[in-house]
Amino acid sequence: DSVVNRRQLLGQTVERRVTAGPARVHTSPMSTDARWAESMPEIYDRCLGPVLFEPYAEQLGGIVGQLPARRVLELAAGTGIATAALISALPDASITATDLNPAMVEWGRDRVPGADWQQADAQHLGFADASFELVTCQFGVMFFPDKPAAFAEVARVLSPGSTMVFSVWDAVEASDFPAAMVQCLAEVLPVDPPGFIVRVPHGYADPERIAADVSAGGLSVNDVTRVVLPTTATSARVIAEGFCLGTPLRFALQERGDLGALTDELADAMVTRLGDGPVHGALSAFVVTAGTPA
């Protein structure tokens, strides 16, 4: 069950329950890996939003639309792609969207004004106990340095019998476009390729570790579902631009040379690898649901 043919699962979901093992605390650096310059949210939203995040935002909406939640908290909301799906799925709910980065909060507030946008650290939430009936986080947990601490905060702010739903990326080789970007980085910068994509966005892909961290935070793991979805990008160049200029990979490239020249070179390499015009691929992620005791 640990190896799944993603081509066979294209557009399908596979569910499996994961039994939590002993609690483990894992930390990850938060310097340039989580820093965002003012121009980055727009590029991230335009280039990567439709390709990587909208497919899973739609899937998230389908999950939460079945829940009786009136007070919703979103962590690491980014530019608001999942926020918009939450508003659509839960039109009568009060949705608080948060992110650690001020630039993301400002962009999201303008993009999705239907939510109450606030800056917040997932590990130190400034909300009262039992304030929410649902907490969501789409592709943000990987950035939390102390994941059990963040899950403990979620457990604190959730009311009894409530739910957390979050998603994290599968291993990088299971998602076509990020995998291609990693391969192109190795070609263009063979001596010292940046490891951000593998280390952070795709670095939290062990279901047993995820379940252990969730349990360590005081939540009960309901299930961990591997979800494989199809996606399309208008071009391979757009994908390269999004990664190079709209994510913290940007800072690693700046340390290695001229950002514009490296972006162009990587975009050429992506076109060579994926082809001209619209490109199609598969993405793989784990969607986790957990809860508090009733």
DSSP characters over 157-215 = HEEEEEEEEEEEE--GGGSHHHHHHHHHHHHHSSSS---HHHHTTTS---HHHHHHHHH
Residues forming a β-bridge with 282: 230
* 281 touches 263 (CB < 8 A): no
**What is residue 39's predicted lDDT score, i.e. its pLDDT?**
79
Q: Going residue by residue through the chain, which has 294 residues, state the pLDDT in tens, using 9 for 90 and above.
A: 222 322 223 233 333 333 333 332 233 333 344 555 667 999 999 999 999 999 999 999 999 999 999 999 999 999 999 999 999 999 999 999 999 999 899 999 999 999 999 999 999 999 999 999 999 999 999 999 999 999 999 999 999 999 999 999 999 999 999 999 999 999 999 999 999 999 999 999 999 999 999 999 999 999 999 999 999 999 999 999 999 999 999 999 999 999 999 999 999 999 999 999 999 999 999 999 999 999
pLDDT of residue 96: 98
* CA pair distance 58, 50, nearest whole angstrom: 11
pLDDT at 38: 60
Residue 4's pLDDT is 31
In this structure, the chain runs to a length of: 294
Q: Which two tokens stand for residue 1?
A: 């069950």
In this prediction, residue 9 carries a pLDDT of 30
Range 245-284 burial, b when 16+ CB lie within 10 A, else e: bbbbbbbbbeeeeeeeebbebbbebbbeebeeeebebbbb
Question: For residue 176, which of 166, 168, 165, 184 has the smallest C-alpha distance?
Answer: 184
- pLDDT score recorded for residue 98: 98
**Residues contacting 163, CB < 8 A, separation 6+:** 67, 69, 133, 134, 135, 222, 289, 290, 291
pLDDT for 36 = 53
* pLDDT recorded at residue 149: 97
